[in-house]
A = this chain, B = another copy of it.
Amino acid sequence: MYGLPNHEGPALKRSNLGHYKVRSVTPRVIDSDPNLPKAPSRIQQRNRSRILEAALEVFSSHGYRGSTLDQIATEAGLSKPNILYYFAGKEDIHVTLLSQLMSTWLDPLKEMDPNGEPIEELLAYVHRKLDMAIELPRESRLFANEILQGAPRMGPHLVADLKPLFDDRTAVILRWMDTGKIARSDPAHLLFSIWATTQHYADFAAQTEVLLPDTERRHSGARDFLTQLFTKLLAP
Protein backbone atom coordinates (compact mmCIF):
# COMPACT_ATOMS: atom_id res chain seq x y z
CA MET A 1 0.00 0.00 0.00
CA TYR A 2 2.62 2.51 1.03
CA GLY A 3 5.69 1.53 -0.95
CA LEU A 4 9.20 2.80 -0.58
CA PRO A 5 9.79 5.97 -2.55
CA ASN A 6 11.42 6.00 -5.90
CA HIS A 7 14.51 7.88 -4.90
CA GLU A 8 15.22 9.13 -8.36
CA GLY A 9 12.07 11.10 -8.87
CA PRO A 10 9.84 10.49 -11.88
CA ALA A 11 10.76 7.36 -13.78
CA LEU A 12 12.72 7.97 -16.94
CA LYS A 13 10.76 6.70 -19.85
CA ARG A 14 13.57 5.52 -22.07
CA SER A 15 17.22 4.87 -21.62
CA ASN A 16 18.63 8.31 -22.00
CA LEU A 17 21.73 7.74 -24.07
CA GLY A 18 23.01 9.49 -27.11
CA HIS A 19 22.97 12.84 -25.46
CA TYR A 20 26.57 13.75 -25.37
CA LYS A 21 28.79 10.77 -24.91
CA VAL A 22 27.49 8.73 -27.82
CA ARG A 23 26.81 10.66 -30.98
CA SER A 24 27.13 10.39 -34.68
CA VAL A 25 30.60 11.07 -35.91
CA THR A 26 31.88 13.45 -38.54
CA PRO A 27 35.26 12.03 -39.38
CA ARG A 28 38.27 14.25 -39.01
CA VAL A 29 41.51 13.79 -40.81
CA ILE A 30 43.49 14.30 -37.64
CA ASP A 31 41.56 11.79 -35.57
CA SER A 32 43.03 8.37 -35.68
CA ASP A 33 39.86 6.42 -34.88
CA PRO A 34 36.80 7.85 -36.60
CA ASN A 35 34.52 5.71 -34.45
CA LEU A 36 35.43 7.55 -31.25
CA PRO A 37 33.29 10.47 -30.07
CA LYS A 38 34.43 13.91 -31.05
CA ALA A 39 36.56 15.94 -28.75
CA PRO A 40 34.36 18.32 -26.72
CA SER A 41 34.09 21.79 -28.20
CA ARG A 42 35.11 24.87 -26.27
CA ILE A 43 31.48 25.61 -25.49
CA GLN A 44 30.95 22.10 -24.21
CA GLN A 45 33.95 22.26 -21.94
CA ARG A 46 32.87 25.59 -20.56
CA ASN A 47 29.28 24.59 -19.91
CA ARG A 48 30.05 21.19 -18.53
CA SER A 49 32.49 22.64 -16.03
CA ARG A 50 30.05 25.42 -15.19
CA ILE A 51 27.44 22.82 -14.44
CA LEU A 52 29.82 20.76 -12.33
CA GLU A 53 30.89 23.82 -10.39
CA ALA A 54 27.26 24.73 -9.75
CA ALA A 55 26.41 21.16 -8.83
CA LEU A 56 29.28 21.03 -6.36
CA GLU A 57 27.93 24.14 -4.68
CA VAL A 58 24.38 22.81 -4.54
CA PHE A 59 24.95 19.13 -3.79
CA SER A 60 27.49 19.87 -1.09
CA SER A 61 25.14 22.06 0.84
CA HIS A 62 21.86 20.21 0.39
CA GLY A 63 22.84 16.63 -0.31
CA TYR A 64 21.75 14.66 -3.35
CA ARG A 65 18.06 14.48 -2.64
CA GLY A 66 17.95 17.94 -1.21
CA SER A 67 19.19 19.43 -4.46
CA THR A 68 17.13 20.09 -7.56
CA LEU A 69 18.05 20.45 -11.18
CA ASP A 70 16.48 23.89 -11.15
CA GLN A 71 18.80 24.97 -8.37
CA ILE A 72 21.82 23.70 -10.25
CA ALA A 73 20.59 25.31 -13.45
CA THR A 74 20.06 28.68 -11.79
CA GLU A 75 23.45 28.50 -10.11
CA ALA A 76 25.07 27.64 -13.42
CA GLY A 77 23.18 30.36 -15.28
CA LEU A 78 21.59 27.86 -17.65
CA SER A 79 18.13 26.45 -18.15
CA LYS A 80 17.17 23.05 -16.84
CA PRO A 81 16.70 21.45 -20.27
CA ASN A 82 20.02 22.89 -21.21
CA ILE A 83 21.91 21.17 -18.44
CA LEU A 84 20.14 17.97 -19.49
CA TYR A 85 21.69 18.48 -22.87
CA TYR A 86 25.10 18.14 -21.28
CA PHE A 87 24.35 15.44 -18.74
CA ALA A 88 22.09 12.43 -18.96
CA GLY A 89 20.38 13.31 -15.71
CA LYS A 90 20.73 14.41 -12.12
CA GLU A 91 22.47 11.23 -11.11
CA ASP A 92 24.92 11.53 -13.96
CA ILE A 93 26.00 14.94 -12.71
CA HIS A 94 26.41 13.63 -9.19
CA VAL A 95 28.39 10.58 -10.21
CA THR A 96 30.61 12.64 -12.51
CA LEU A 97 31.34 15.04 -9.67
CA LEU A 98 32.16 12.26 -7.25
CA SER A 99 34.52 10.41 -9.53
CA GLN A 100 36.32 13.60 -10.56
CA LEU A 101 36.81 14.55 -6.94
CA MET A 102 37.86 11.13 -5.80
CA SER A 103 41.36 11.53 -7.18
CA THR A 104 41.82 15.03 -5.78
CA TRP A 105 40.76 13.65 -2.45
CA LEU A 106 43.13 10.71 -2.48
CA ASP A 107 46.14 12.54 -3.87
CA PRO A 108 47.68 13.51 -0.53
CA LEU A 109 47.54 9.90 0.59
CA LYS A 110 49.33 8.81 -2.57
CA GLU A 111 51.97 11.46 -2.10
CA MET A 112 53.16 10.01 1.19
CA ASP A 113 56.63 8.79 0.40
CA PRO A 114 57.48 5.34 1.83
CA ASN A 115 61.15 6.31 1.76
CA GLY A 116 60.68 9.64 3.49
CA GLU A 117 61.10 10.40 7.15
CA PRO A 118 57.99 8.80 8.79
CA ILE A 119 57.10 11.58 11.20
CA GLU A 120 57.63 14.26 8.58
CA GLU A 121 55.57 12.37 6.03
CA LEU A 122 52.67 11.80 8.38
CA LEU A 123 52.63 15.33 9.73
CA ALA A 124 52.81 16.69 6.21
CA TYR A 125 49.85 14.50 5.37
CA VAL A 126 47.89 15.86 8.30
CA HIS A 127 48.65 19.40 7.24
CA ARG A 128 47.71 18.80 3.64
CA LYS A 129 44.44 17.22 4.67
CA LEU A 130 43.66 20.11 6.99
CA ASP A 131 44.45 22.64 4.28
CA MET A 132 42.13 20.82 1.94
CA ALA A 133 39.33 20.77 4.48
CA ILE A 134 39.68 24.51 4.97
CA GLU A 135 40.18 25.43 1.34
CA LEU A 136 37.84 22.89 -0.26
CA PRO A 137 35.04 22.46 2.27
CA ARG A 138 32.46 21.82 -0.44
CA GLU A 139 34.35 18.83 -1.72
CA SER A 140 34.68 17.48 1.80
CA ARG A 141 30.97 17.90 2.45
CA LEU A 142 30.04 16.29 -0.82
CA PHE A 143 31.89 13.16 0.21
CA ALA A 144 30.62 13.31 3.75
CA ASN A 145 27.05 13.47 2.50
CA GLU A 146 27.60 10.51 0.23
CA ILE A 147 29.22 8.38 2.92
CA LEU A 148 26.63 9.35 5.52
CA GLN A 149 23.87 8.04 3.28
CA GLY A 150 25.71 4.74 3.04
CA ALA A 151 27.70 5.55 -0.11
CA PRO A 152 24.87 4.52 -2.46
CA ARG A 153 26.65 5.87 -5.52
CA MET A 154 30.25 5.54 -4.41
CA GLY A 155 30.37 2.14 -2.75
CA PRO A 156 32.04 0.41 -5.71
CA HIS A 157 34.54 3.25 -5.98
CA LEU A 158 35.47 2.79 -2.35
CA VAL A 159 36.15 -0.87 -2.82
CA ALA A 160 37.95 -0.49 -6.14
CA ASP A 161 40.00 2.66 -5.58
CA LEU A 162 40.23 3.52 -1.92
CA LYS A 163 40.57 0.07 -0.37
CA PRO A 164 43.74 -0.96 -2.26
CA LEU A 165 45.38 2.39 -1.57
CA PHE A 166 44.35 2.17 2.06
CA ASP A 167 45.78 -1.31 2.44
CA ASP A 168 48.99 -0.23 0.82
CA ARG A 169 49.38 2.86 3.00
CA THR A 170 48.61 1.06 6.25
CA ALA A 171 51.27 -1.47 5.28
CA VAL A 172 53.75 1.32 4.72
CA ILE A 173 52.94 2.84 8.07
CA LEU A 174 53.31 -0.55 9.72
CA ARG A 175 56.76 -0.89 8.23
CA TRP A 176 57.66 2.53 9.57
CA MET A 177 56.61 1.36 12.98
CA ASP A 178 58.76 -1.72 12.60
CA THR A 179 61.81 0.46 12.04
CA GLY A 180 61.09 2.10 15.38
CA LYS A 181 60.97 5.58 13.87
CA ILE A 182 57.42 6.13 15.07
CA ALA A 183 55.52 4.65 17.97
CA ARG A 184 53.34 1.62 17.44
CA SER A 185 49.60 2.03 17.00
CA ASP A 186 46.94 0.67 14.68
CA PRO A 187 47.70 2.24 11.28
CA ALA A 188 44.10 1.91 10.12
CA HIS A 189 42.77 3.82 13.10
CA LEU A 190 45.60 6.30 12.72
CA LEU A 191 44.39 7.15 9.23
CA PHE A 192 40.79 7.25 10.42
CA SER A 193 41.72 9.73 13.13
CA ILE A 194 43.56 11.94 10.67
CA TRP A 195 40.58 11.97 8.33
CA ALA A 196 38.13 12.55 11.15
CA THR A 197 39.96 15.41 12.81
CA THR A 198 40.78 17.28 9.63
CA GLN A 199 37.50 16.86 7.77
CA HIS A 200 35.62 17.78 10.91
CA TYR A 201 36.51 21.41 10.25
CA ALA A 202 34.76 21.31 6.89
CA ASP A 203 31.89 18.95 7.59
CA PHE A 204 30.89 20.39 10.96
CA ALA A 205 31.71 23.99 10.15
CA ALA A 206 28.17 25.03 11.09
CA GLN A 207 28.95 23.82 14.59
CA THR A 208 32.57 24.92 14.99
CA GLU A 209 31.71 28.38 13.68
CA VAL A 210 29.15 28.79 16.43
CA LEU A 211 31.38 27.42 19.15
CA LEU A 212 34.59 29.12 18.06
CA PRO A 213 33.62 32.28 16.16
CA ASP A 214 37.21 33.47 15.87
CA THR A 215 38.22 32.34 12.40
CA GLU A 216 41.89 32.75 13.08
CA ARG A 217 41.81 30.57 16.19
CA ARG A 218 39.69 28.05 14.33
CA HIS A 219 42.16 27.69 11.49
CA SER A 220 45.67 28.14 12.75
CA GLY A 221 44.55 26.84 16.12
CA ALA A 222 43.48 23.63 14.44
CA ARG A 223 46.83 23.35 12.78
CA ASP A 224 48.73 23.80 16.01
CA PHE A 225 46.49 21.42 17.88
CA LEU A 226 46.66 18.65 15.31
CA THR A 227 50.42 19.02 15.05
CA GLN A 228 50.65 18.58 18.80
CA LEU A 229 48.18 15.69 18.85
CA PHE A 230 49.89 13.63 16.20
CA THR A 231 53.44 14.57 17.16
CA LYS A 232 52.83 13.15 20.59
CA LEU A 233 51.15 10.05 19.27
CA LEU A 234 53.92 9.28 16.81
CA ALA A 235 56.91 10.09 19.02
CA PRO A 236 58.80 6.81 19.42
Question: Residues of A at under 8 Å CB distance from B?
Answer: 1-5, 7, 61-66, 68, 70-71, 73-74, 79-80, 141, 144-145, 147-151, 155, 158-159, 162-163, 166, 185-186, 188-190, 192-193, 195-197, 199-201, 203-204, 206-208, 210-212, 217, 221-222, 224-226, 228-229, 232-233, 235
With contacts A61-B149, A229-B233, A232-B232 taken as known, whether A74 is within 8 angstroms of B189 at the C-beta atoms is no
Give the residue of B66, B158, B207 whose beta carbon is less than 8 angstroms from that of A151.
B207
Give the residue of B79, B163, B197, B229 whose beta carbon is less than 8 angstroms from that of A210.
B163
Do B61 and A62 have beta carbons less than 8 Å apart? no
CA distance A185 to B199 in the complex (A): 20
- Which residues of B lie under 8 Å from residue A221 when comparing CB positions? 186, 188-189
CA distance A5 to B226 in the complex (A): 40
Do B70 and A3 have beta carbons less than 8 Å apart? yes
CA distance A225 to B222 in the complex (A): 21
Do A71 and B5 have beta carbons less than 8 Å apart? yes
6 closest cross-chain pairs (CB), A and B? A196-B200, A189-B225, A65-B66, A196-B196, A151-B206, A232-B232
CA distance A233 to B229 in the complex (A): 6
Give the residue of B5, B186, B229 whose beta carbon is less than 8 angstroms from that of A224.
B186
- Which residues of B lie under 8 Å from residue A217 when comparing CB positions? 186, 188
- Which residues of B lie under 8 Å from residue A210 when comparing CB positions? 155, 158-159, 162-163
Do A68 and B5 have beta carbons less than 8 Å apart? yes
- Which residues of B lie under 8 Å from residue A201 when comparing CB positions? 192
CA distance A151 to B83 in the complex (A): 29
Do B225 and A193 have beta carbons less than 8 Å apart? yes
- Which residues of B lie under 8 Å from residue A212 when comparing CB positions? 188
Q: A7-B66, A62-B149 are in contact. List 17 more A-B contacts (CB 8 A).
A: A2-B70, A2-B80, A4-B70, A4-B74, A61-B150, A63-B65, A148-B204, A148-B206, A150-B206, A158-B206, A158-B210, A158-B211, A159-B210, A162-B211, A189-B222, A193-B200, A232-B233
With contacts A74-B2, A195-B200, A196-B197 taken as known, whether A185 is within 8 angstroms of B63 at the C-beta atoms is no
